């Protein structure tokens, strides 16, 4: 069952402003034309803002996982800029996540958050290396992509429980797992893409209309379900 518009609006207003908005205004300003926040001319500032607004902020709960140095983060983002530019125009709910080019780019980005030796987050956990089943820590990746791209929520356990309750198909184990494979991440985004489309049809309203400041769909989903 989909959450009603008024309930979604109430939940969004509870988290009306955060460090995400500071970063997102910067991104929108940079990417008005053909520029990218991962271009050489913007990359250093993007890393600084990502560290300040996300990685070292208490409320996002990533700092304790072991954050990579500015140089490591910059190198990882530079190596992933081509795939970022592929997904940059994609909006959650428009059906394009099902395209092979988009899914392939998301798969590479998910793996690419781990550099040659260290990752951006979770370096206190075997340097963010995958487990024996090829699964990486989901929270660091999903939250970073929520800031950079905006079309995925943070996928913490509260959000997963809420989405499953409200109709996003998943298994019970999906709720409790801290690590996902790249394929699991992409498949979940595809399901969420369809979920957003159905919500808009059911409610006769754009999902983006729920929030101010031109917030992206992934962030709005995150705001609705984060510790409601």
- From the CA atom positions of the chain, what is the Rg in Å? 17
CB-side exposure of 149: number of CA atoms within 13 Å?
A: 31
- C-alpha 57/C-alpha 223 separation (Å) is 17
- C-alpha 140/C-alpha 47 separation (Å) is 15
pTM over 0.85: yes
Answer whether 80's CB lies under 8 Å from 141's CB. no
DSSP symbols for 149-168:
T-SS----HHHHHHHHHTT-
- C-alpha 63/C-alpha 13 separation (Å) is 26
Run of H or E residues at 179? strand 179-180
pLDDT per residue as tens digits for the range 46-79: 999 999 999 999 999 999 999 999 999 999 999 9
CB-side exposure of 51: number of CA atoms within 13 Å?
A: 17
How confident is the prediction for the chain on average, in pLDDT? Answer: 90
pLDDT per residue as tens digits for the range 109-165: 999 999 999 999 999 999 999 999 999 999 999 999 999 999 999 998 888 888 888
pLDDT per residue as tens digits for the range 163-190: 888 877 655 556 668 999 999 999 999 9
């Amino acid at each position: 069952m989909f959450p009603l518009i008024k309930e979604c609006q109430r939940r969004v207003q509870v988290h009306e402003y955060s460090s995400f908005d500071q970063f997102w205004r910067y991104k929108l300003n940079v990417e008005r034309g053909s520029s990218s926040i991962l271009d050489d001319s913007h990359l250093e500032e993007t890393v600084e803002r990502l560290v300040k607004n996300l990685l070292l902020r208490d409320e996002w709960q990533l700092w304790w996982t072991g954050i990579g140095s500015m140089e490591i983060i910059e190198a990882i983002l530079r190596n992933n800029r081509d795939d970022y530019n592929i997904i940059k125009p994609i909006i959650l709910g428009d059906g394009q996540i099902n395209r092979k080019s988009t899914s392939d780019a998301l798969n590479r980005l998910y793996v690419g958050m781990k550099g040659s030796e260290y990752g951006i987050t979770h370096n206190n956990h075997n340097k963010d290396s995958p487990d024996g089943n090829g699964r990486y820590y989901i929270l660091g990746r999903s939250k970073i992509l929520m800031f950079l791209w905006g079309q995925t929520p943070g996928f913490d356990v509260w959000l997963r429980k809420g989405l499953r309750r409200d109709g996003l198909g998943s298994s019970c184990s999906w709720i409790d797992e801290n690590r996902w494979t790249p394929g699991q991440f992409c498949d979940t985004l595809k399901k969420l893409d369809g979920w957003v489309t159905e919500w808009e049809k059911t409610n006769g309203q754009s999902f983006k209309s729920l929030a101010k400041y031109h917030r992206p769909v992934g962030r709005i989903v995150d705001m609705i379900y984060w510790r409601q």
